[in-house]
């Protein structure tokens, strides 16, 4: 049994019982976050890309917990330069970590640090843990290869952005769920800033109208998968 907790924006924790993995820990400055970076206990931190609303508090959390940052090569090197333990990967590659297997997939977006340094390609994240498969798309527009991700992986949960402006909006995200064909759709990357205000219930209704299940996880709450 895996516990999936949503901290607003694109930040999720995956708890396996033995390991705690946090994805895109943007907590300070995230009005919807229910936790403080100081209170996070993590073994691994996975970053989809380097934008400030995704690396967030990653380096502080990594140092405090002696946790390993998992990211594409350029961003992992940057984390290592900042004094963090890092595991360098890249898109298309997977690796068996103590908690399970992680693979980086493509995402159509940008990736630079808040001060403008090039950080390689943005990524999506596939986690295969204890027979469950979780896909976190990162920030991305809709892309046809989501069909391939869905064909090659029996997804239990897919987290997709619905905020529009910087990423897919609701209608494209519903199409993404059709392509990915997960057991459960979970919306993310909405209602953090003015330009990404969206109604997640509209997404849920539209996902259900194509015969798929959706849970809008309230900020700070968890589901079991």
- Least distance to Mn ion from the beta carbon of 10, Å? 6
List binders of Mn ion among 46-65 (CB under 5 A).
53
Residue closer to Mn ion, measured from CB, 22 or 129: 22
Contact between residue 7 and residue 35 where contact means Cβ atoms under 8 Å apart: yes
Residue 74 binds what, of Mn ion, Ni ion, none (CB under 5 to 8 Å, by partner type)?
none
Q: Is 51 in the site for Ni ion (CB under 5 A)?
A: yes
Of 138-177, binders to Mn ion (CB under 5 A) are 139
Check: CB of residue 39 under 8 Å from CB of residue 33.
no
* 221: Cβ contacts below 8 Å, ≥ 6 apart: 5, 6
Residue number, 100 or 161, with CB nearest to Ni ion: 161
| Rounded distance between C-alpha atoms, residue 149 and residue 134, angstroms | 11
Complex with Ni ion: residue 51 or 136, whichever CB lies closer:
51
Candidate residues 24, 74, 139, 156; the one interacting with Ni ion per rule CB under 5 A: 139
Q: Concatenated DSSP letters for 154-194?
A: --SEEEEE-B-SSS-BHHHHHHHHHHH--SEEEEES-SSSG
Smallest separation, CB 32 to Mn ion (Å): 13
Considering the complex, state which of residue 125 and residue 133 has its C-beta at the smaller distance from Ni ion: 125
Residue 121, binding choice from Ni ion, Mn ion, none, Cβ under 5 to 8 Å by partner class = none
Per-residue contact flags (x/-) with Ni ion for residues 93 to 132, judged by CB under 5 A: ----------------------------------------
Nearer to Mn ion, 2 or 123 (CB): 123
Helix residue spans in the chain (DSSP H): 52-55, 58-65, 73-81, 146-152, 170-180, 200-209
Q: Identify any residues that bridge with 23 across adjacent strands, giving them in sequence order.
A: 12, 46
Name the token pair of 62: 């990594």
Residues found near Ni ion in the complex (CB under 5 A) = 51, 139
Residues found near Mn ion in the complex (CB under 5 A) = 53, 139
């Amino acid at each position: 049994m895996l516990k999936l907790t949503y901290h607003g924006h694109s930040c999720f924790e995956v708890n396996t019982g033995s390991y705690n993995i946090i994805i895109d820990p943007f907590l300070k400055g995230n009005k919807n976050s229910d936790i403080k970076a100081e209170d996070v206990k993590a073994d691994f931190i996975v970053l989809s890309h380097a934008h400030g609303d995704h690396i967030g508090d990653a380096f502080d959390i990594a140092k405090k917990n002696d946790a390993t940052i998992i990211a594409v090569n350029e961003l992992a090197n940057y984390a290592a330069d900042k004094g963090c333990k890092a595991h360098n990967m890249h898109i298309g590659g997977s690796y068996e970590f103590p908690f399970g297997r992680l693979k980086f997939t493509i995402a159509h977006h940008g990736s630079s640090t808040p001060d403008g340094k090039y950080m390689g390609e943005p990524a999506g994240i596939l986690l295969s843990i204890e027979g469950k498969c979780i896909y976190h798309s990162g920030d991305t527009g809709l892309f046809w290869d989501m069909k391939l991700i869905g064909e090659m992986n029996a997804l239990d949960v897919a987290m997709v952005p619905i905020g529009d402006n910087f990423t897919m909006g609701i209608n494209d995200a519903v199409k993404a769920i059709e392509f990915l064909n997960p057991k459960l759709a979970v919306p993310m990357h909405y209602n953090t800033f003015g330009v990404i205000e969206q109604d997640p219930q509209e997404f849920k209704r539209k996902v259900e109208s194509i015969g798929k299940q959706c849970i809008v996880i309230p900020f700070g709450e968890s589901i079991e998968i």
